[in-house]
């Protein structure tokens, strides 16, 4: 089965290189930016300004290949890919929870951005805390290291390179 997506827009951010980006939207390096929605989808932004946060789904357009185990940014040991948020995935789809600062025309101004400039947008969904109130949370291998996300930035480990086998741990 083949699945095809049509981008609904594009991300405009200060991050033009994959290295030294924030690794999650809560990182200290996360920034303000704009989500430009393409004209056929602008009308779908109606009423979005009543929400404070949105989930943004996007395509990792500068990433290729994947491997079943990776060394994530917050550890130095390999873990199963699906137990991480590493960008090299069988379906390279990213997810970020961003704060809306304004909606003007076909533009959504956001803060907490951790997405590369020029990234194609696939979908936007409002964050509704009453819908997502999980109990008994476990953080697996991450444990208490989750607090390190604020100060960590991306490095070379998931960059596309002709010198690296994308299925090898880097």
Taking only the tens place, the pLDDT of each residue in 75-132 is 788 999 998 888 889 999 999 999 999 999 999 999 989 899 999 999 999 999 888 8
Question: Residue 119 has what DSSP assignment?
Answer: P
pTM over 0.85: no
The token duo for 43 is: 């009308």
Confidence grade of residue 17 (pLDDT, cut at 50, 70, 90): confident
Q: How far apart are CA 149 and CA 42, in angstroms?
A: 33
Question: In the chain, what are the domain boundaries?
Answer: 9-128+137-158
Closest by alpha carbon to 66, among 52, 46, 54, 84? 84
CA-wise closest residue to 13 among 127, 102, 110:
110
Give the pLDDT mean for 21-40: 77
Position 35 scores a pLDDT of: 98
Whole-Å CA distances, 132 to 50, 126, 135, 151: 18, 11, 10, 26
CATH of range 9-128+137-158; options 1.10.150.120, 3.90.1530.10, 2.40.30.70, 3.40.30.10: 2.40.30.70
**Adjacent-strand bridge partners of 109:** 34, 102
pLDDT of 135 strictly over 90: no
- The percent of residues in the chain predicted with pLDDT above 90, rounded, is 53
């Amino acid at each position: 089965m083949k699945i095809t997506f049509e981008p609904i827009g594009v991300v405009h951010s200060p991050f033009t290189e994959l290295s030294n980006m924030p690794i999650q939207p809560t990182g200290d390096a996360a920034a303000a930016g704009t989500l430009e929605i393409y004209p056929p989808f602008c009308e779908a932004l109606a009423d979005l300004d009543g929400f404070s946060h949105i989930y943004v789904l996007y395509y990792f357009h500068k990433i290729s290949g994947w491997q079943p185990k990776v060394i994530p940014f917050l550890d130095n040991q390999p873990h199963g890919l699906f137990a991480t948020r590493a960008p090299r995935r069988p379906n390279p789809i990213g997810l970020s929870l961003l704060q809306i600062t304004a909606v003007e025309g076909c533009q959504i101004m956001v803060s907490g951005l951790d997405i590369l400039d020029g990234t194609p947008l696939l979908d936007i969904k409002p964050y509704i805390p009453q819908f997502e109130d999980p109990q008994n949370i476990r953080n697996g291998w991450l444990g208490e290291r989750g607090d390190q996300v604020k100060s960590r930035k991306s490095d070379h480990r998931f960059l596309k390179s002709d010198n690296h086998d994308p299925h090898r741990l880097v």
